[in-house]
């Protein structure tokens, strides 16, 4: 354990290996919960930004399990979860949680949803796990140590030229934003091979990491959509960022290996893809 100067709070500077193991363990446990205990008649318990931005009882149950599991091991850590977990903690570690990423897919029982758990130290995500509990695929990464799928290294594809790039994207829940995103997509499509829309940002980012798509972009991602998957994509060799030198964030996330990242960034910047 590393201590700060005497008299100040003890801060157990964590071993990223331990954080990664805990992230994976918690994500797997929550993944089992949302599959094994999925009610036959899954109810929408609330909506958020729009009538289609839904929450189910299992979103809450999954986030509760994640917080309880992690807190039992690291009681001084903080939490930031999609369904309301928000604690500062005192250790310097914050767990960024998406208890079900791809909630609409989960509601329709489309097997493309994930539990995403990122461990952030200060402003940097240093470890992350994304679990697709239906397929059993578990993506993991530790900062500076590569990206893995079920324990085997994965790498983003060597960048094709833009016209041959298979690109995934997603759309927000607000109808006006979706209209703008559709208009941008009509401008992007003629420049690329084709588009895919999986419905889960963390799985889209892991798809880049695994070479299942060549690139990904989306506007409107929240920290929990991006935390673990962004690290996994970065550790696979992709660049993960925003427009005009900005970092990846709610304005826009682009994930692709260079030079495809630069080509996508230029195209999306010319289309004003980060405009709210």
- Name which position in 77, 225, 265, 274 contacts ligand LIP (CB under 6 A): 225
Q: Which is nearer to ligand LIP, 92 or 173 (by Cβ)?
A: 173
Task: Please state, as a whole number, how many other Cβ atoms lie within 10 Å of the Cβ of residue 49.
Answer: 11
Q: Which is nearer to ligand LIP, 1 or 86 (by Cβ)?
A: 86
Size of the site for ligand LIP (CB under 6 A): 15
Given strand 215-218, what is the order of strands in its sheet?
194-196, 166-169, 215-218, 253-256, 239-241
Q: Which region, judged by CB under 6 A, interacts with ligand LIP, from 60-68, 72-80, 142-150, 194-202?
A: 194-202
- Are the CB atoms for 198 and 104 separated by under 8 Å? no
- Name which position in 218, 235, 263, 274 contacts ligand LIP (CB under 6 A): 218
Minimum CB distance to ligand LIP, residue 15 (Å): 30
Q: Provide the CB-side half-sphere exposure for 17 (13 A, CA).
A: 0
Output the CA–CA distances (angstroms, integers) from residue 252 to 76, 165, 255, in the order listed. Answer: 32, 19, 10
The dihedral region occupied by 94, where left means phi > 0, alpha psi between -120 and 50, and beta the remainder, is beta
Minimum CB distance to ligand LIP, residue 232 (Å): 14
Helix (H) or strand (E) holding 233: helix 223-235
Q: Which is nearer to ligand LIP, 18 or 137 (by Cβ)?
A: 137
- C-alpha–C-alpha distance, residues 166 and 208, integer Å: 10
- Name which position in 16, 61, 71, 171 contacts ligand LIP (CB under 6 A): 171
Query: What SS3 state is found at 86?
Result: strand
Closest CB to ligand LIP: residue number: 170
The answer to whether 265 contacts ligand LIP (rule: CB under 6 A) is: no
Q: Which region, judged by CB under 6 A, interacts with ligand LIP, from 130-138, 165-173, 179-187, 246-254?
A: 165-173
Minimum CB distance to ligand LIP, residue 106 (Å): 8
- C-alpha–C-alpha distance, residues 140 and 24, integer Å: 7
Q: Which is nearer to ligand LIP, 103 or 157 (by Cβ)?
A: 103
The answer to whether 236 contacts ligand LIP (rule: CB under 6 A) is: no
Q: Which two tokens mark 235?
A: 């550790």
Interface positions, 63-122, toward ligand LIP (CB under 6 A): 82, 98, 101-104
């Amino acid at each position: 354990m590393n201590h700060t100067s005497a008299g100040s709070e003890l801060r157990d500077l964590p071993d990223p290996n331990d954080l990664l193991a805990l992230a994976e363990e918690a994500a797997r446990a929550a993944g089992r919960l949302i599959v094994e205990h999925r009610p036959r008649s899954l109810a929408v318990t609330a909506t958020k930004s729009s009538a289609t931005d839904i929450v189910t009882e299992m979103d809450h149950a999954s986030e509760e399990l994640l917080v309880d599991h992690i807190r039992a091991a690291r009681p001084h850590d903080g939490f930031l979860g999609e369904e309301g977990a928000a604690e500062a903690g005192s250790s310097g570690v914050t767990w960024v949680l998406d208890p079900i990423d791809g909630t609409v897919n989960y509601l329709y029982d489309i097997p493309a949803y994930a539990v995403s758990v990122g461990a952030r130290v200060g402003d940097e995500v240093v470890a992350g796990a994304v679990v697709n509990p239906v397929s059993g695929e578990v993506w993991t990464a530790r900062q500076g140590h590569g990206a893995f799928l079920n324990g085997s290294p994965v790498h983003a594809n060597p960048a094709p030229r833009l016209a041959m790039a298979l690109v995934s994207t997603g759309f927000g829940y607000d109808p006006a934003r979706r209209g703008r995103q559709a208009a941008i997509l009509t401008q992007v499509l003629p420049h690329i091979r084709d588009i895919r829309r999986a419905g889960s940002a963390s799985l889209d980012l892991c798809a880049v990491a695994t070479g299942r798509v060549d690139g990904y972009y989306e506007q409107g991602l929240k920290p929990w959509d991006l935390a673990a998957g962004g690290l996994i994509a970065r550790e696979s060799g992709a660049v993960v960022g925003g427009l005009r030198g900005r970092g990846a964030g709610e304005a826009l996330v682009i994930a692709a290996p260079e030079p495809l990242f630069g080509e996508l960034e230029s195209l999306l910047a010319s289309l004003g893809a980060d405009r709210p």
